Amino acid sequence: MTKPNASVELNAITKSYGSTTIIGDTSITINDGEFVSLLGPSGCGKSTILKMIAGLASPSTGTVSAGNEEIKGPGPDRGMVFQDHALLPWMTARGNIDFGLRSARPSLSKTERADITRTHLEQVGLTDAAERRPARLSGGMQQRVGIARAFAIDPPIMLLDEPFGALDALTRRELQLQLLNIWEASHRTVVMVTHDVDEAILLSDRVLVMSKSPEATIITDIPVNLPRPRHELSEDASVEAETTALRKRMLHLLEH
Ligand code: ADP
């Protein structure tokens, strides 16, 4: 079976609520296998763009497509990780991943699901917490389950809405590195919303910087040509200089 094309395209979209045009004329192309971040001030419409790709919102004008097909609603080709984890409270960590797999990939056998679930729990360091329900998991652990579930389902296109937003700095960094490892092994198409410049630089191939709403749009498309695998931000002098320059440029764009 050939791998389906997992590109994403927003073609001349706008989004209005009532008489306010939140997002002005915007076009975005995301290539198959690319990790792209949407960076911008709060309220500029980043989540709205992600929801359009997820099929949970539609543009007021213009079209959104995935794999060259216009998006009409949610589909198994696109998976989303929310900031609030969206775990089922009555199921264990293992149960949540197993349930996600059963819904999204019904052709898998019970044994296959168990294997995939085990591997992904291990990948995010949750083997020992597999039988706990969300109420007995910390915020960081819940977020890990959400990420493990999304990657276990392994949709061609992954949508991450500030996936580390609610976490403390250390947990955040640890999970960013785990996501980086998982992504560098799979090279899925990822679109991530963030307002964290360092997070965007660490993870992305490309960072799209947005202006403020109303009439928000992409003001700059910044390639991040730092070597991979990245694991950590490198201490190599030239890489460090490039990272600093990228950070400065992005912060400047956000502030002005
Ligand atoms: P961001 O993710 O960049 O913080 P959002 O995409 O969440 O921004 O929201 C963009 C703007 O659209 C915000 O000003 C928000 O208040 C507004 N908005 C979002 N959803 C709705 C809605 N259902 N009705 C009216 N306004 C909305």
Q: Higher model confidence: residue 65 or residue 182?
A: 65
> In whole angstroms, what is the distance from residue 115 CA to residue 148 CA?
13
Among 105-114, 122-131, 195-204, 231-240, the least confident range: 231-240
Determine which residue's CA is closest to atom 24 belonging to ligand 1. Answer: 17
Chain segment 35-53, per-residue pLDDT in tens: 999 999 999 999 999 999 9
Residue among 16, 48, 80 whose CB has most ligand 1 atoms within 8 A, to mutate: 48
Q: What is the mean pLDDT of residues 167-171?
A: 79
Q: What integer pLDDT is reported at residue 118 of this predicted model?
A: 96
The residues that bridge with 10 in the sheet, in sequence order, are 28, 64
Whole-number percent of the chain with pLDDT over 70: 96
What predicted TM-score, i.e. pTM, was given to this entire model?
0.91
Q: What is the mean pLDDT of residues 217-232?
A: 90
Q: Higher model confidence: residue 73 or residue 231?
A: 73
Q: Residue 116: in which H helix or E strand, if any?
A: helix 110-123
Chain segment 21-35, per-residue pLDDT in tens: 999 999 999 999 999
Q: What integer pLDDT is reported at residue 50 of this predicted model?
A: 96
Distance 45 CA to ligand 1 centre (A): 6
pLDDT surpasses 60 at 1: no
Q: What integer pLDDT is reported at residue 125 of this predicted model?
A: 87
Homologous superfamily in CATH for domain 8-77+155-255: P-loop containing nucleotide triphosphate hydrolases (3.40.50.300)
The residues that bridge with 16 in the sheet, in sequence order, are 21
- Tell me the pLDDT of the chain averaged across its residues: 91
Distance 58 CA to ligand 1 centre (A): 13
3-state SS, residue 235: coil
The angle subtended at Cα 7 by Cα 242 and Cα 84, nearest 5°, is 75
Q: What integer pLDDT is reported at residue 232 of this predicted model?
A: 66
> In whole angstroms, what is the distance from residue 93 CA to residue 121 CA?
8
Whole-number percent of the chain with pLDDT over 90: 68
Pocket residues for ligand 1 (CB within 6 Å)? Answer: 17, 22, 40, 42-48, 193, 213
User: Residues spanned by CATH 3.40.50.300 within the chain?
Assistant: 8-77+155-255
Return all residues near 26 (Cβ < 8 A) that are at least 6 apart: 10, 12, 13, 14, 49, 62, 216, 217, 218
Chain segment 72-110, per-residue pLDDT in tens: 999 888 988 877 768 999 999 999 999 999 988 899 999
Q: What integer pLDDT is reported at residue 62 of this predicted model?
A: 98
Chain segment 114-144, per-residue pLDDT in tens: 999 999 999 888 999 999 999 999 988 898 8
Residue among 13, 20, 23, 44 whose CB has most ligand 1 atoms within 8 A, to mutate: 44
Q: What is the mean pLDDT of residues 220-241?
A: 85
Determine which residue's CA is closest to atom 23 belonging to ligand 1. Answer: 17
Q: What integer pLDDT is reported at residue 233 of this predicted model?
A: 60
Distance 256 CA to ligand 1 centre (A): 21
Distance 223 CA to ligand 1 centre (A): 27
Give the orientation angle of helix 110-123 with respect to helix 139-153, to 10 degrees: 130
